[in-house]
Amino acid sequence: MSKRFLGLIATGILLLAAIAPVPAAAEELNISSMNYAASFPNSLSFTLKATAPVEIVDARLHYQVQRQGFAEVFNEVIVKVAPATDVSLSYSLNLRRVGGLPPGVVIDYWWTLYDAGGREYVTEVNKLTFNDERYQWRALSEGLVTLYWYNGSDSFAGQLMATAQQALDKLENDTGARLSEPVNIYIYDSAQSLQGSMVFPQEWTGGVAFTNFNTIAIGIETSSLTWGKRAIVHELAHVVTNQVTANPYNSIPTWLNEGLSMYAEGPLDALYVVFYNSARDQQSLISVRSLTSPFSADPALAYLSYAESYHVVKYLIDTYGQDKMSRFLDQFAEGASADGALEAVYGFDLEGLDAEWQEYAYNAVPDRFQSAVIWTPWLVLLIVLVSGASVIIAVWLFYPRMVRVERVDQ
């Protein structure tokens, strides 16, 4: 037998060895189940059953909540494991400890196991949608907006959707701001039902905008459609504003954020007009720089702050136009400060804006009421007094639809 033939045989054996399948079953992790169980809104439980060729001595659960952001962030949890080749693992995520999540949020999750020999096993990534399954949701979609509801007719949902679309058109026409990512709106049948979908809700909560999740949840009774329309517009404007101005450096001033949402609603409600006109008459309007920070918890100052924010935004749009407002918002997306954005687009800083706007405000014709408030004699008497907390208490007694909506930046 020639040396050349022997060499060919040897080469063939090596090739066969190279392409022959290696029995993987005895070397790899065998997963028999990988599941989750949801209890909205309070908890999520994850389980894994697996078999490995060598004892598993370490286990980690990883999960990543899909949200708007500028960095890839995931959570890792060390899960207790008794060393064994067959493991049954579980972990319960208590959402009451982390602040809760909105309905419909998508979560990626996977496991990493380590055996006694130091080998790492990583499972495939699974997805789950954390839904509020207590209700049978129906869905209505138009453009980038999907509205979910379970109580009320198709006409009820259709009117809310039409209002949302009109608000988006107004925002784009007047400010240049528009949606770039899909938004989900969940309509609960009451404020109480909404609060049942939240962890640690405030008793006055009537709606929440989870801006970084592009999700809105509002409690709207079918008999309170007018209030519901305004609430949807206000919170949808917050989501649009967040999408347009989001950046990793800072947030936009409160007067701009709330002012855009108030502006999107249309003419101020009568209660805001009362507080605004009172401060205007007393020459006691709050400075624009003071409105850059979160608003006061004092009810009277809060009403005034919202009303002023509306007027400042309206003044910028009416005086300088849509193009400059659009460029102003773009400045924030690039990380500019309030002063820097104003100077770049309008040529003045916060003090300059305050001086120009207040001069205009004190000389302008006062607003007229633009509200469907039922003006009972008691309400008229108490509002005329305009005496701080007593007025607000009266408002809650005689104007029950004054339920607050929140904005949550998670």
User: Which CATH number is associated with domain 138-370+404-408?
Assistant: 1.10.390
Reading the block at residue 260, the tokens are 């855009």
Whether the per-residue pLDDT at 373 is higher than 60: the answer is no
Give the residue from 126, 47, 40, 129 showing the smallest Cα distance to 92.
47
Reported confidence tier of residue 99, pLDDT bands at 50, 70, 90: confident
pLDDT value of position 37:
97
**Cα separation values, 104 from 41, 131, 136, 152, 323, Å:** 11, 5, 13, 20, 35
Task: Give domain limits for the chain.
Answer: 30-130, 138-370+404-408
Q: What confidence score (pLDDT) does residue 407 get?
A: 61
- Token pair, residue 184, equals 């989900």
Q: What is the DSSP letter of 332?
A: H
State residue 24's pLDDT score. 31
Mean pLDDT of 387-393: 41
- The mean pLDDT of 250-262, rounded to a whole number, is 97
In the structure, what pLDDT confidence band is assigned to residue 3 with cuts at 50, 70 and 90?
A: very low
Mean pLDDT in residue range 281-304: 95
The predicted-structure confidence for 299-321, as pLDDT tens digits, reads as follows: 999 999 999 999 999 999 999 99
Q: Is 80 exceeded by the pLDDT of residue 283?
A: yes
Give dist(CA 12, CA 22) in Å, integer: 18
* Residue 410: per-residue pLDDT: 56
- CA-CA distance, 29 to 121, in Å (whole number)? 7
Is 172 in contact with 28 (CB distance < 8 Å)? Answer: no
Average pLDDT, the chain: 87
- Containing H/E element for 158? helix 154-175
Average pLDDT over residues 217-224: 96
Q: Which of 9-23, 90-104, 290-304, 309-323 has the lowest mean pLDDT?
A: 9-23
Contact between 130 and 86 under an 8 Å Cβ cutoff? The reply is no
pLDDT tens column, 121-174: 999 999 999 999 999 999 999 999 999 999 999 999 999 999 999 999 999 999
Q: Which CATH number fits the domain 30-130, given the four candidates 3.30.460.10, 3.40.50.1820, 2.60.40.10, 1.10.3720.10? A: 2.60.40.10
At 13, the pLDDT band (50, 70, 90 cuts) reads very low
